[in-house]
């Protein structure tokens, strides 16, 4: 995507707005009396509709216009928020996403859209007259007693966005035609359309001058309008719209909002100040009404000083200007603090930095071998600069896990309803950051785990009550930093896993003989064995264990690990440990025989001369380490399958590493210095080599294999 491709830019930004809309609607379900959420949902729909219409996404604009109008009714107090509106809003969100993905809709997708609109019109009859707006539509948001006159295009129910630039000005136009306006050949609807062409408009129509039917003169004009116009045009251009009707109407044009940020207090004016500026009441009358300590508008209407339409018009002006200022400030903040960059460019940047790191390793080796002090000095300064560039590039590639976690809200909501369960989702540590590429590859495994927890982890409400639990189950997803890794914990307070059932199934499948002594966590980890399941029938949603081998494989493919713990009757915990980034790794370079390896420095606890280590008297594969017995194995034996090696060589080094609470020793021939490099894929032929997760290029252009410490600590000791 590039800035010169408006449709692609629109799809990206609309996708972000749809994600925001989904989150807002789910929050609305829990707090339906939050007007700010209604406003945010409305603004998201409005922006999508306006931008889509300008770029020719007519089907999208047509559909979104009706959905937006439904939320406008709620926002303006003409309807109540309901569970059905939220449900239809979520369905509409999915339909808009489908339209963006494939503008040429098939019959099924088009039918889904029509069904949603039919249900909205049935729930809100006021939408029956809504039709698709033109590319730039006029807004006519009327009060309870006001009406929209003319075609739906001329006075539809919303606004079209022209963009927020610093040169925009918002005018309040009070347009009250005299009764004889029609007799001079003027048409107010044409004037409103002309205003529409100048920018974004909100038009409020009033019928308070309309006489009884038997007194109505069909050739007289009884309507009047208040118009809010945001435009880059000057005031004279606005006045020119009315140049031919100046003698046939009362016209007042006031500038109420400029485009300067220093004049952008989001609170704008109070309702009383707006009414005074409109010339409808005096400051003294406002003060007397305020003294009654009731809602200002109600007091003024009760006293006969104003009509409810006039109060509603002031409220709409307040909301509109606040929205404009908020948008302007947000746009200014974003332009000052951040810019949108194609993620592929960020990927390229990280890859280039990685190549710099690899090339510098060659330069550093040449400098060391040459003995040239100046070259060594240049190499060291270059290394410092490359580290700084690397850190900046990696920071650019990091995004909050909220990007991933936010998708769980909709999933949990929909699946809990489908399964007839009551579930409360708790998200914690959403500001924890991960490499964007890691998050993208983590999405599918996480979704599978969430489905399993909902389907087989949490019990139905009645079953929970019989067990003495609350009807509502809790699913908790938390993220936190753990050194150079991020720990993601998915826990539920459901029925837990039957450990005996897991054991029996493992014996039945030949994974165990039945004589093994295993820790509880090791038994639970059997669930991730290929095809393992304690259930005989998988559900449509999931099956705890079904596909968990794929989940583990995907997570280990990221250089991470997964472990399961559970207590029957109390719940299950799934711990996922993921490296912060996949791009550049700092490791400890070691040699085993004639092969070099890199051990992730985040896993290394200590390097010890093996000749100084005390080995266990009865088990020669155990060593004493800081008061504990730690298993170790010889990497030479492990990779060459040379069972004759007992690790007795006194000139070897023992690297003590830790992963997921397990501490083991790795016996190597020689330990060098730390080394930074880009991890390269081994390709399909070698991708399943146990204990190896990739390769790095050394300064002399030789390859060093990246050790998969997580898998080694899990499988290597048994080897």
As given in the structure block, the two tokens for residue 278 are 């409109």
- With bands split at pLDDT 50, 70 and 90, how would you rate the model's confidence at 540? low
Average confidence (pLDDT) over 29-38: 83
Q: Is the pLDDT of residue 558 over 90?
A: no
Q: Is the pLDDT of residue 706 over 50?
A: yes
Please give the mean pLDDT across all residues of the chain. Answer: 80
Average confidence (pLDDT) over 242-247: 85
Instruction: Note the pLDDT of residue 480.
Output: 92
pLDDT tens digits along 38-85: 888 888 898 888 778 777 788 888 899 899 988 888 887 888 888 889
Give the chain's radius of gyration (CA, Å). 34
Q: Is the pLDDT of residue 476 over 90?
A: yes
As given in the structure block, the two tokens for residue 201 are 């408009």
Pairing of strands 561-567, 473-482: unpaired
- 334 neighbors 240 (Cβ within 8 angstroms): no
Partners of 696 in the beta sheet? 704
Q: Is the pLDDT of residue 544 over 70?
A: no
Among 61-65, 184-188, 234-238, 641-645, the least confident range: 641-645
Q: Is the pLDDT of residue 472 over 60?
A: yes
Instruction: Note the pLDDT of residue 459.
Output: 92
As given in the structure block, the two tokens for residue 292 are 């009654």
Instruction: Note the pLDDT of residue 262.
Output: 46
**Residue 261 phi, psi dihedral angles, 5° rounding:** -65, -30
Query: Long-range contacts for 97-101 (Cβ within 8 Å, ≥24 apart)?
Result: 97/15, 97/18, 99/57, 99/59, 99/60, 99/63, 100/11, 100/14, 100/15, 100/57, 100/60
As given in the structure block, the two tokens for residue 472 are 């509502």
Average confidence (pLDDT) over 328-347: 69
- With bands split at pLDDT 50, 70 and 90, how would you rate the model's confidence at 644? very low
Task: Look at the block and give the residue holding tokens 């249900």.
Answer: 119
As given in the structure block, the two tokens for residue 226 are 């208040």
Beta-sheet strands, E only, within 69-109: none
Cα–Cα distance measured from residue 586 to residue 582, given in angstroms and rounded to the nearest whole number: 11
Q: Is the pLDDT of residue 457 over 60?
A: yes
- 461 neighbors 471 (Cβ within 8 angstroms): yes
pLDDT tens digits along 130-155: 654 443 333 333 333 333 333 333 33
Among 371-375, 531-535, 629-633, 699-703, the least confident range: 531-535
Q: Is the pLDDT of residue 20 over 80?
A: yes
Partners of 253 in the beta sheet? 173
Cα–Cα distance measured from residue 269 to residue 271, given in angstroms and rounded to the nearest whole number: 6
Cα–Cα distance measured from residue 200 to residue 560, given in angstroms and rounded to the nearest whole number: 51
Pairing of strands 703-707, 692-697: antiparallel
How many Cα neighbours within 13 Å face the side chain of 697?
A: 15
Cα–Cα distance measured from residue 193 to residue 138, given in angstroms and rounded to the nearest whole number: 7
Average confidence (pLDDT) over 320-343: 70
Partners of 592 in the beta sheet? 595
- 230 neighbors 162 (Cβ within 8 angstroms): yes
Instruction: Note the pLDDT of residue 147.
Output: 34
pLDDT tens digits along 571-626: 999 999 888 776 677 788 898 888 889 888 888 888 988 888 888 766 667 888 88
As given in the structure block, the two tokens for residue 275 are 């009414």
Instruction: Note the pLDDT of residue 595.
Output: 87
Q: Is the pLDDT of residue 637 over 50?
A: yes
- With bands split at pLDDT 50, 70 and 90, how would you rate the model's confidence at 477? very high
529 Cβ contact partners less than 8 Å away, ≥ 6 residues apart:
506, 509, 511, 549
CB atoms within 10 A of CB 324: 22
Among 316-320, 367-371, 399-403, 507-511, the least confident range: 507-511
Average confidence (pLDDT) over 209-226: 89
DSSP H helical ranges for 160-302: 188-196, 235-240, 271-277, 283-291, 296-302
Partners of 704 in the beta sheet? 596, 696
Among 80-94, 121-135, 469-483, 668-682, the least confident range: 121-135
Among 42-56, 201-215, 543-557, the least confident range: 543-557
Share of the chain above pLDDT 70, in %: 84
Pairing of strands 584-592, 604-609: unpaired
- 61 neighbors 53 (Cβ within 8 angstroms): yes
Among 333-342, 549-558, 573-582, the least confident range: 333-342
Cα–Cα distance measured from residue 671 to residue 686, given in angstroms and rounded to the nearest whole number: 25
Cα–Cα distance measured from residue 496 to residue 570, given in angstroms and rounded to the nearest whole number: 6
Average confidence (pLDDT) over 252-281: 76
Q: Is the pLDDT of residue 460 over 90?
A: yes
Average confidence (pLDDT) over 163-191: 81
As given in the structure block, the two tokens for residue 97 are 């996403």
- 39 neighbors 327 (Cβ within 8 angstroms): no
SS3 state at 13: helix
- With bands split at pLDDT 50, 70 and 90, how would you rate the model's confidence at 441? confident
- 497 neighbors 564 (Cβ within 8 angstroms): yes
- 454 neighbors 419 (Cβ within 8 angstroms): yes
Q: Is the pLDDT of residue 368 over 60?
A: yes
Partners of 210 in the beta sheet? none
How many Cα neighbours within 13 Å face the side chain of 126?
A: 20
Instruction: Note the pLDDT of residue 144.
Output: 34
Q: How far does the chain reach from its first CA to its final CA, in angstroms? A: 49
- With bands split at pLDDT 50, 70 and 90, how would you rate the model's confidence at 501? confident
Cα–Cα distance measured from residue 26 to residue 446, given in angstroms and rounded to the nearest whole number: 20
**Residue 588 phi, psi dihedral angles, 5° rounding:** -100, 120
- With bands split at pLDDT 50, 70 and 90, how would you rate the model's confidence at 650? low
- 249 neighbors 178 (Cβ within 8 angstroms): yes
Instruction: Quote the Cα angle for 366-370-373, to 5°.
Output: 105
Among 232-241, 382-391, 462-471, 694-703, the least confident range: 694-703
Burial class for 310, CB neighbours closer than 10 Å (0-12, 13-18, 19+): buried
């Amino acid at each position: 995507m590039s800035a010169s491709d408006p449709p692609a830019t629109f799809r990206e930004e609309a996708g972000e707005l749809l994600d925001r809309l989904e989150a807002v609607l789910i929050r609305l379900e829990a707090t339906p009396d939050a007007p700010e959420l209604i406003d945010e949902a409305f603004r998201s729909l409005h922006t999508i509709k306006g931008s889509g219409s300008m770029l020719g996404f007519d089907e999208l604009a047509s559909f979104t216009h009706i959905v937006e109008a439904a939320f406008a009714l709620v926002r303006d107090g003409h309807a109540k928020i309901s569970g059905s509106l939220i449900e239809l809003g979520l369905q509409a969100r999915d339909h808009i996403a489908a339209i963006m993905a494939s503008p040429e809709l098939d019959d099924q997708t088009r039918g889904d859209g029509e069904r949603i609109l039919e249900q909205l019109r049935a729930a809100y009859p006021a939408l029956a007259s809504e039709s698709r707006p033109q590319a730039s539509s006029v807004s006519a948001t009327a009060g309870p007693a006001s009406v929209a006159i003319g075609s739906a295009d001329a006075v539809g129910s919303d606004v079209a966005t022209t963009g927020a630039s610093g040169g925009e000005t918002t005018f309040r136009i009070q347009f009250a035609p005299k009764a004889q306006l029609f007799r001079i050949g003027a048409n107010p609807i044409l004037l409103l359309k002309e205003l529409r062409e100048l920018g974004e408009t909100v038009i409020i129509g009033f019928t308070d001058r309309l006489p009884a039917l038997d007194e109505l003169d069909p050739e007289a004009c009884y309507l009047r309008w208040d118009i809010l116009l945001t435009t880059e045009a000057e005031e004279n251009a606005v006045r020119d719209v009315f140049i031919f009707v100046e003698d046939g109407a009362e016209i007042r044009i006031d500038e109420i909002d400029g485009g300067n940020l220093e004049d952008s207090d989001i609170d704008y004016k109070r309702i009383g100040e707006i009414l005074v500026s409109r010339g409808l009441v005096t400051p003294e009358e406002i003060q007397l009404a305020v003294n009654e300590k009731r809602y200002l508008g109600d007091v003024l209407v009760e006293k006969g000083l104003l009509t409810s339409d006039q109060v509603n018009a002031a409220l709409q002006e307040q909301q509109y200007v606040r929205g404009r200022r908020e948008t302007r400030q947000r746009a200014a903040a974003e332009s000052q603090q951040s810019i949108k960059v194609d993620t592929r460019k960020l990927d390229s940047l990280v890859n280039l930095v990685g190549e710099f790191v690899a090339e510098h390793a060659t330069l550093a080796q040449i400098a060391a071998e040459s003995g040239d002090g100046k070259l060594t000095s240049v190499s060291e300064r270059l290394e410092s600069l490359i580290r700084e560039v690397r850190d900046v590039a990696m920071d650019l590639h990091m995004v909050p896990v909220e990007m991933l976690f936010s998708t769980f809200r909709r999933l949990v909501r929909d699946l809990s309803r489908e399964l007839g369960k009551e579930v409360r989702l708790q998200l914690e540590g959403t500001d924890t950051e991960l490499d964007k590429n890691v998050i993208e590859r983590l999405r599918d495994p996480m979704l599978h785990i969430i489905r399993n927890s909902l389907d087989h982890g949490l019990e139905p409400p009645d079953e929970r009550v019989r067990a003495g639990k609350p009807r509502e189950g809790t699913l908790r997803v938390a993220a936190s930093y753990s050194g150079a890794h991020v720990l993601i914990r998915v826990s539920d307070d459901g029925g837990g896993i039957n450990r005996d059932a897991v054991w029996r199934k493992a014996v039945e499948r030949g994974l165990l003989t039945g004589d093994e002594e295993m820790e509880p966590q090791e038994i639970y980890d059997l669930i991730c064995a290929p095809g393992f399941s304690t259930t005989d029938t998988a559900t449509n949603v999931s099956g705890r264990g079904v596909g968990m081998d794929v989940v583990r494989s995907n997570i280990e493919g990221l250089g991470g690990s997964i472990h399961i713990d559970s207590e029957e009757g109390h719940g299950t915990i799934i711990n996922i440990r993921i490296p912060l980034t996949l791009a550049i790794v700092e490791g400890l370079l070691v040699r085993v025989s004639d092969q070099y390896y890199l051990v992730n420095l985040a896993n290394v606890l200590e390097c010890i001369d093996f000749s100084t280590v005390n080995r266990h008297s009865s088990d020669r594969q155990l060593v004493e380490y800081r008061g504990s017995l730690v298993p170790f194995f010889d990497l030479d034996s492990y990779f060459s399958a040379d069972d004759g090696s007992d690790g007795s060589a006194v000139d070897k080094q023992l690297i003590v590493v830790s992963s997921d609470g397990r501490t083991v020793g790795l016996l190597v021939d020689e330990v060098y210095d730390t080394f930074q490099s880009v991890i390269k894929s081994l390709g399909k032929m070698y991708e399943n080599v146990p204990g190896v997760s990739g390769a790095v290029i050394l300064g002399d252009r030789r390859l060093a294999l990246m050790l998969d410490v997580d898998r080694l600590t899990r499988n290597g000791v048994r080897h």
